[in-house]
Amino acid sequence: KAGVTQTPRYLIKTRGQQVTLSCSPISGHRSVSWYQQTPGQGLQFLFEYFSETQRNKGNFPGRFSGRQFSNSRSEMNVSTLELGDSALYLCASSHSRGGSSYEQYFGPGTRLTVT
Amino acid sequence: AQSVTQLGSHVSVSEGALVLLRCNYSSSVPPYLFWYVQYPNQGLQLLLKYTSAATLVKGINGFEAEFKKSETSFHLTKPSAHMSDAAEYFCAVSEGETSGSRLTFGEGTQLTVNP
């Protein structure tokens, strides 16, 4: 089975611009979560989508948004980029939202640099 | 609310020595607990998980962890370190159905293996 894929892997943007990141989950997985990883704040949860609906949201400003399509692929968007948005953005997928078989698998991440 | 504390941001061991990475958690409900490993410029790889079955959990690459409810701990161990174990390790907690796919991560522990 193919793993979680994220595109692009690297991105350089300028302050004030917007960016869209893409994530394709493992086949059959319906839950997609997004995390931001920075040296200062560590790994922080952004949001979770399940069956095209946002089910959970972390403590991030409204500039961060996302969506999920009917094939479970997900995108996240960051508008009006700030220098502090520079980070590794990780996408993770899971078959379920809980239960004893619950496991979350991560993609390689998208490295976003804001200049 | 759930939280995770990893004691020791850096741990250094000699090749062949015991690896012990500490993780303590806080959760208002019986938790699901995970250990992930991250190699440079890569995403997170699941090492092992605890989801209320056996308290001693065996994972990949010779790692194991023991869930101790009385100590709210989930420490990761490996009897004999290998050079290839050098990486950053993250402990994470989920409150299962309560928090869906949301994982809360510890700050991470950078493991160095000396020859």
> In which band, very low, low, confident or very high, does the pLDDT at B27 lie, cut at 50, 70 and 90?
confident
What's chain B look like in SS3? Answer: CCEEEEECCEEEEECCCCEEEEEEEECCCCCEEEEEEECCCCCEEEEEEECCCCCEEECHHHCEEEEECCCCEEEEEECCCCHHHCEEEEEEEECHHHCCCCCEECCCEEEEEEC
Write out chain B residues lying below 8 Å of A33, CB-based. 101-103
pLDDT in tens, B52-77: 778 899 999 999 999 999 999 999 99
Instruction: Verify whether the Cβ–Cβ distance A97 to B97 is below 8 Å.
Output: yes
- Nearest chain B Cα distance for residue A72, angstroms: 15
Q: Can you tell me whether residue A27 is helix, strand or coil?
A: coil
Kindly give the pairing relationship between strand B73-78 and strand B64-68: antiparallel
The residue type found at A17 is: Q
Which candidate from A94, A100, A103 shows the least CB-CB separation from B52? A100
8 A C-beta contact, residue A86 and residue A114 = yes
- pLDDT at residue A59, rounded to an integer: 93
A62 touches chain B (CB under 8 A): no
Q: Do B36 and A4 make contact, defined as CB atoms within 8 angstroms? A: no
Per-residue pLDDT band for A98 (boundaries 50, 70, 90) equals: low
Average pLDDT over residues A42-46: 95
Dihedrals φ, ψ of B16, to 5°?
90, -10
